[in-house]
């Protein structure tokens, strides 16, 4: 029987001291439980994904130093095998590095494997830095069991659609009894279920159980959700570690079956969190780690009295605590009474201060200066954008003066069509809801209220018509279709078949019905043109926390100067 431990950790890119400590602590915990094997995630030593830090000699030297500390620490537990991910060097033509897996015991590397399939699509760019490993299997006998290894993407090509190589085939030929896969698999809607489905199919196809160890935590736009699991042909997904949290678990393996000395294992619930709760946990964890790793303890948000800023504030309070979140209202000549009163209701419910900085005098001063300098009145779109830019400047002044992270409040619907002001409401360090469509913003807000059993986000905020309040009587629907319609068009255009199956079918059906009418077809063409024309805004906007399979940022790379209104 093999006793092994899964160490699901929150590793930091470049945080070698912290990462090394987590690994050594995990080794000690595994040894205490009499485990013969402990497994960490992909690139656990340096954190995933280092990007062009992999071209920095000091970074690589620090990585080598951290590995040496692990090797020395392993001598304290001479019978324990430690499996972890780290950068390895490649000799010969090609890239200078490999994405490597090491098996360590008693101060020595006893097995080494290099990732064969390097994802270079969507949010991934591993081909930029790594050379693919040689084809073939890496195996190791532990406690009488023949174990094979793979790294993340290696396990996603069993159907042979994306790569010519299938690492499963070599492991099957090697006759392994168990596959250990170390991963840094980012989270999005439906990703957990997708992992379960693909790795269950692979376990059945090759009649080999698999242990899948994932990392957790937020890294820039990405969030890793954990959910490490064990799957066998006979049992299905029989164990799953915590989601959105560090976890440590001890399991046993014998004759193709997983078990636990701590109690019987039961099949894992496939449904998981509802979409709104999933988005909430994803965003909260993403903000926590972004703030921590960028050395922010406080956040500031411009509060308009609208739904976007209300949801942003509620999520910020959950992530950072009410004592660390500040709201600022900045009424103008066009602000409704509710922009301030609804902001106050919200802040009272959240237990946070609402500071006031009216902008009327500042806007008037700009208008006077504009007329004097250019012999023209400041009006129309220029006046609307000025108000947003004055507000953005005030928020950045606060951020600079008091060290608070400015959170932008744009949602995916508005960011898609450019319904935002560059250097105004796009100012900030991080966007929390930039990968949620407007209809999802409402759904998550109502979910937060339902979960709390009270109006965290006031009903007055939820029920008012959306408005930028930059002109008299202005409503979002003056410029855009209703969000229920706009969001279907945007999902169809931006994400398409990357959507969950039911969502993709619904968007496709809506768009085809619109295209069948002259008015609907014209609306769709107008929206596609707006998306294309506003790429320059998205390129300059802050990073947003990714929730969906295709988010703006590294996951959607489009040219700015191009004609692609289709």
- Residues designated as active site: 42, 115, 152
The whole-angstrom separation of Cα 182 and Cα 173 is 21
Residue 279's H or E segment, with its range, is: helix 275-293
Q: Given the structure tokens 């979140």, which residue do they identify?
A: 325
**C-alpha dihedral, 521 to 523 to 526 to 532, nearest 10°:** -80
The whole-angstrom separation of Cα 518 and Cα 142 is 68
Whether 10 contacts 244, CB under 8 Å: no
Q: Exposed, middle or buried: residue 516 (CB in 10 Å: 0-12, 13-18, 19+)? A: exposed
312 Cβ contact list (under 8 Å, min separation 6): 301, 407, 408, 409, 432, 433
The whole-angstrom separation of Cα 534 and Cα 423 is 14
Q: Given the structure tokens 């009410």, which residue do they identify?
A: 322
Whether 3 contacts 252, CB under 8 Å: yes
Other CB atoms within 10 A of residue 223 CB = 27
HSE (side-chain half, CA atoms, 13 Å) at 310:
34
The alpha-helical segments, DSSP class H, found in 117-211 are 167-173, 191-206
By 3-state DSSP, what share of the chain in percent is helix, strand and coil, each rounded to 5?
Answer: 40, 20, 40
Instruction: Give buried/exposed letters for 166-197 (b at 16+ CB in 10 A, else e).
Output: bbbebbbeeebbbbbbbbbbbbbbbbbeebbe
Whether 545 contacts 432, CB under 8 Å: yes
SS3 at position 415? helix
Whether 228 contacts 212, CB under 8 Å: yes
Cα of 348 vs its chain's centroid, Å: 30
Nearest to 107 by CA among 84, 81, 87, 140: 81
Whether 511 contacts 488, CB under 8 Å: yes
232 Cβ contact list (under 8 Å, min separation 6): 203, 209, 210, 238, 256, 257, 258
């Amino acid at each position: 029987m093999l006793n092994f431990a899964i160490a699901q950790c929150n590793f930091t890119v470049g945080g070698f001291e912290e990462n090394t400590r987590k690994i050594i602590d995990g080794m000690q915990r595994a040894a205490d439980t009499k485990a013969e094997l402990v497994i960490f995630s992909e690139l656990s030593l340096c954190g995933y994904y280092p990007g062009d830090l992999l071209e920095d000699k000091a970074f690589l030297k620090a990585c080598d130093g951290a590995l040496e500390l692990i090797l020395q620490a392993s001598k304290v537990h001479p019978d324990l095998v430690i499996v972890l991910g780290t950068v390895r060097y490649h000799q010969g033509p090609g890239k200078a590095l490999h994405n490597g897996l090491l098996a360590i015991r008693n101060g020595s590397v006893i097995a080494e494997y290099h990732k064969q399939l390097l994802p270079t699509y969507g949010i991934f760019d591993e081909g930029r830095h790594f050379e693919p490993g040689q084809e073939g299997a890496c195996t190791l006998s532990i406690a009488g069991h023949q174990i094979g290894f793979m790294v993340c993407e290696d396990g996603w090509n069993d159907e042979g659609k994306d790569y010519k190589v299938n690492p499963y085939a070599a492991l099957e030929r090697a006759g392994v009894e168990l596959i250990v896969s170390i991963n840094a698999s980012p989270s999005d809607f439906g990703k957990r279920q997708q992992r379960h489905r693909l790795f269950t199919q692979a376990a059945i196809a090759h009649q080999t159980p698999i242990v899948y160890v994932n990392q957790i935590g937020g890294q820039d736009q990405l969030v890793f959700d954990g959910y490490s699991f064990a799957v066998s042909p006979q049992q299905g997904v029989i164990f799953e570690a915590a989601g959105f949290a560090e976890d440590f678990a001890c399991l046993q393996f014998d004759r193709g079956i997983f078990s636990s000395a701590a109690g019987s294992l039961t099949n894992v619930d496939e449904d998981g969190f509802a979409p709104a709760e999933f988005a909430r946990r994803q965003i909260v964890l993403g903000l926590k780690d972004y703030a921590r790793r960028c050395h922010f303890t406080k956040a500031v948000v411009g509060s308009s009295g609208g739904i976007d800023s209300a949801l942003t504030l509620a999520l910020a309070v959950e992530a950072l605590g009410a004592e660390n979140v500040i709201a600022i209202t900045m009424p103008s000549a066009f602000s409704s009474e509710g922009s301030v009163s609804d902001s106050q209701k919200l802040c009272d419910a959240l237990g946070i201060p609402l500071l006031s900085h009216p902008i009327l005098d500042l806007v008037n001063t700009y208008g006077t200066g504009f007329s004097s300098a250019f012999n023209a009145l400041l009006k129309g779109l220029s006046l609307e954008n000025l108000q947003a830019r004055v507000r953005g400047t005030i928020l950045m002044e606060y951020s600079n003066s008091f060290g608070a992270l400015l959170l932008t409040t744009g949602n995916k619907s508005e960011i898609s069509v450019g319904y935002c002001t560059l250097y105004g409401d796009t100012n900030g360090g991080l966007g929390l809801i930039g990968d949620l469509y407007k209809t999802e913003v409402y759904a998550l807000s109502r979910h937060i209220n339902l979960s709390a059993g009270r109006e965290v986000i006031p009903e007055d905020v939820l029920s008012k018509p959306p408005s930028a309040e930059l002109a008299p009587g202005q409503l979002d629907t003056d410029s855009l279709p209703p969000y229920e319609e706009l969001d279907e068009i945007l999902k169809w255009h931006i994400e398409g078949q990357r959507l969950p199956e039911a969502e993709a079918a619904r968007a496709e059906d809506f768009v085809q019905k619109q295209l069948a009418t002259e008015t609907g077809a014209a609306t769709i063409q107008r929206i596609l043109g707006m998306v294309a024309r506003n790429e320059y805004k998205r390129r300059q906007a802050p990073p947003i926390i990714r929730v969906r399979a295709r988010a703006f940022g590294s996951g959607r790379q489009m040219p700015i100067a191009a004609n692609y209104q289709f």
